[in-house]
Amino acid sequence: MSGSFLRIAKCQGAVMFIKILFIVLFLVVTIGVGIYCRKKATDVNGFVLGGRSVGPWLTAFSFGTSYFSAVIFVGYAGQFGWNFGLASTWIGLGNAFIGSYLAWKVLGRRTRVMTQHLGSATMPDFFEKRYGSKALKLAAAAVVFIFMIPYTASLYNGLSRLFEMAFGIPYWVCVMVMALVTAMYVVLSGYVGTALNSFIQGVVMLVGIVVVVMAVLNMNGGLAASVELLSKVSTDTVSQGGFTSFFGPDPVALLGVVLLTSLGTWGLPQMISKFYSINSEKSIKTGTIVSTIFAVIVAGGCYFLGGFGRIFMTPDEVGGQFDSIIPSMLQSINSDVVIALVVMLVLAASMSTLSSLVLTSSSTLTLDFIAPMKKTKMSERSKMLAMRIFLVFFILVSAGIAIIQASSKVAFITDLMGISWGTMSGAFLGPFMLGLYWKRATKPAVWSSFIFSVLLNVTYMVFKLSGNISLLPKLLQASSNVGVIAMLSGIVLVVVVSLLTKKPEEEAVNAMFSCYDKKVTVSQKDSLEG
């Protein structure tokens, strides 16, 4: 008998060793990349934009890994998979074709060309130079600073249950390790190191999600058997469709989530900044395809997986705690190697998004808020030092908030993630997109978009946190609807207010848009003209 216990103990020890080895190797490679790329971050241009010379694969993976974090895998996939069933897969497909493909096609080339022409390194800086207003830059920087921190803090939430499940490690230890490793490689290498690590992390995410989906389906006899089990789950909205129907039990709510999580990327500073660094026309074409395929696999896989949540848990077991759904599904997998891969997947997703957010936050605060406030011009060295200090500050503050939130069981941080996304996208999408395409867009129109989005989302937040959400119109009782309304209204406001206000100075605007008229020579294989 003692021999049997000894063999079991040895086996469990070997499995734990393999899990820890996976994580340690992953972290060592991550830090090693930061050290290797440190020479690329010697000035502001290199630290923030990678010298505008980053290739298509790194840019595409950086875009995708910044897009999809642990919040998506653990939180959103669990919640929306529970609400919509297999129809939640449409959210992942929307993320791929609206949030990735169309974002690259509509914004990619024009963003790269005009931001380089204007000498703009951040989104707030673009607003100042495009619309001729320093106040706009300061306001945009303030919105980024205020609403990016809760967004950043929410990234840690998906790690707690998974790490405790796999290793028995306290949540705060996991948070601090992730924060310190991320801080090390971003401080050392800036955008280039972040992009290269995002590529590695993206590969982990691709492999991880494919393996996890296959493992979960096999537990119930494969795809067909899993779908059959899900079809037997009862719903109060059968008349609109069950959890295996094409558009799910609530198509209208599903559409709102698709638009929020897909169109929202068009106005998020950390996503748009990826286009600033593209190095060539070929990179845009390749990046468009790669980022779309990445999103189909990762986002589509996450939401498809979440759609089967109801065959693993009952409503009483969930009790409104949607973050518990995906971990509970994974606990049913009888493979420690798969669990270790899942933990790496979530860690990779969290670190890649975290690095992108804090790099955006620190550069925006330094270049768009601190530097303009100083009476004397900041030197390159001073800017670099300030960005690194603020980068560490953002990481530590977000980690602290996440730890406090987890220990106090306060849920508002998770709620604020959606509000943060909706506020920034609502404020920036219209002014940024139309600023690239339409000469008639005016400064007052940009202000109207900023003010409307902030007021709408903050109003929703106040009613939500005070428990009076039912007092709002039904359309405004869901954060996804509020975010979508803010984004679409921002576009409308920019158009209407621009037409009602004084035209911008024609000569100045023509000078900005002259970058699109610049003649370039291409080879015969790229064009049949000439």
**What domain range is 272 assigned to?**
52-513
pTM: 0.84
Domain-embedded: residue 380: yes
Domain contains 39? no
Q: Considering only CA atoms, which of 322, 361, 355, 21 is closest in space to residue 202?
A: 355
Instruction: Output the tens digit of pLDDT for each of the chain's 530 residues.
Output: 445 444 444 445 555 677 777 778 888 888 888 888 887 777 777 777 776 777 788 888 888 888 887 777 777 888 888 888 889 999 999 999 999 999 999 998 899 889 888 988 889 999 999 999 999 999 998 998 888 887 777 777 666 666 666 667 777 887 888 888 888 888 888 878 888 888 888 888 888 888 888 888 888 888 888 888 888 876 654 445 578 777 878 888 888 889 888 988 899 988 888 888 787 777 888 889 999 999 999 999 989 998 888 888 877 777 767 777 887 787 777 777 777 777 777 777 777 778 888 888 888 888 888 888 777 788 888 888 888 888 888 888 888 877 776 666 555 555 667 788 889 999 999 999 999 999 999 999 999 999 999 999 989 888 887 888 888 888 888 777 888 899 999 999 999 999 999 999 999 999 999 988 876 555 534 443 43
In this prediction, residue 128 carries a pLDDT of: 92
The answer to whether residues 338 and 207 touch, using CB atoms and an 8 Å cutoff, is no
Domain of 411, CATH number, reads 1.20.1730.10
| 8-state DSSP, 54 | B
What pLDDT does 454 receive? Answer: 94
Domain annotation covers residue 95 = yes
What is the 3 state secondary structure string of 214-265? HHHHHHCCCHHHHHHHHHCCCCCCHHHCCCCCCCCCCHHHHHHHHHHHHHHH
In-domain check, residue 530? no
**Would you state the pLDDT for residue 526?**
47
How confident is the model at residue 126, as a pLDDT?
Answer: 93
Domain count, the chain: 1
pLDDT computed for residue 525 by the predictor: 46
Give the count of beta carbons closer than 10 Å to the beta carbon of residue 24.
10
Q: Is residue 392 part of a domain?
A: yes
CB atoms within 10 A of CB 349: 32
pLDDT at 157: 67
Query: Does 290 map to a domain?
Result: yes
In a domain, 149, yes or no: yes
- DSSP structural state of residue 278: B
